[in-house]
Amino acid sequence: MNANGRLTLLTRVGFATRGLLYLVIATLILRTGRAEDPSGALELLGQGGGQVLLGILTVGLVAYGIWRLADAAWDIERHGSDRKGWAERVGAGVSGIVHLTLAWQAVKLMRGAALSGDSTREGTQMALRLPGGWALVMVGAAMLFALGAVQIVKAAKGSFLRYLDPQIGRRPWVRWSGRAGYAARGIVFLIAGWLLLNAGIEEQASGTGGMARVLGWLNHPFDLIVGAGLLGFGMFSLVEARFRRLHDVPIDAVARRFG
């Protein structure tokens, strides 16, 4: 198996890892009302599965992060050069950074270190300490609003199905798990953007937070509705792990270019 084949295989492990994290998050909110983000889900999986599971999750997250960054840089998923295509590539880049950060957190867990608090809140606090930091926070809020809008549009149009094997994409449960999942993620991004916007206006980071903060902020039964959507996204991610059509990352070309 060449380098592209190995990266493709590990990227599928990354999709499965993403699905597993969302299934944990959704199960917690639906069964116990406990709000967690992907970092918290990763910590829980590490406690239950030990070093071996954390090692597998780390490899999958690294491969998935690299693949997403490669998509942002070289448009391997062929998003196009229009405004929508560039928005997709920006989203891919953000996703790549997020998943590489999760991989680093998994490594820290393997080394016995405890994860710190809410990274979104900490990042907001850091930005607000800078001169004109409120403007950076506003930019972050705008990005979250944009990402949320993209997720909602994907849910409405079902455009995410074009990446799947057509026979699988035509199955109703696959379509609706994807629609519910992207809609739920869109809601999470929009609420996180609203919280961040308020933080920028008030120059106070205490009200911000990531997915755990958003899920905890939602009143019953809206938390359960979003949790059910995230369960659908976890299921859809597992489908992608097996049936998504992945284009090769130009590893050899990149190596020659920078070699």
Dump pLDDT digits (tens) for 183-202: 999 999 999 999 888 877 77
Whose tokens are 């953007």? That residue is 193
Dump pLDDT digits (tens) for 128-143: 777 777 788 888 889 8
Considering the domain boundaries, does residue 15 fall inside one?
yes
Considering the domain boundaries, does residue 259 fall inside one?
no
Q: How far apart are alpha carbons 252 and 41 in whole angstroms?
A: 35
Considering the domain boundaries, does residue 254 fall inside one?
no
Considering the domain boundaries, does residue 96 fall inside one?
yes
Considering the domain boundaries, does residue 255 fall inside one?
no
Domain count, the chain: 1
DSSP 35-66: ---HHHHHHHHHHHHHHHHHHHHHHHHHHHHH
Considering the domain boundaries, does residue 257 fall inside one?
no
Dump pLDDT digits (tens) for 95-115: 999 899 999 988 988 887 766
Considering the domain boundaries, does residue 125 fall inside one?
yes
| 198 or 69, higher pLDDT | 69
Considering the domain boundaries, does residue 52 fall inside one?
yes
Confidence of residue 5 (pLDDT cuts 50, 70, 90): confident
Q: How far apart are alpha carbons 199 and 205 in whole angstroms?
A: 5
35: left (phi over 0), alpha (psi -120 to 50) or beta: beta
Domain of 185, in residue numbers: 3-249
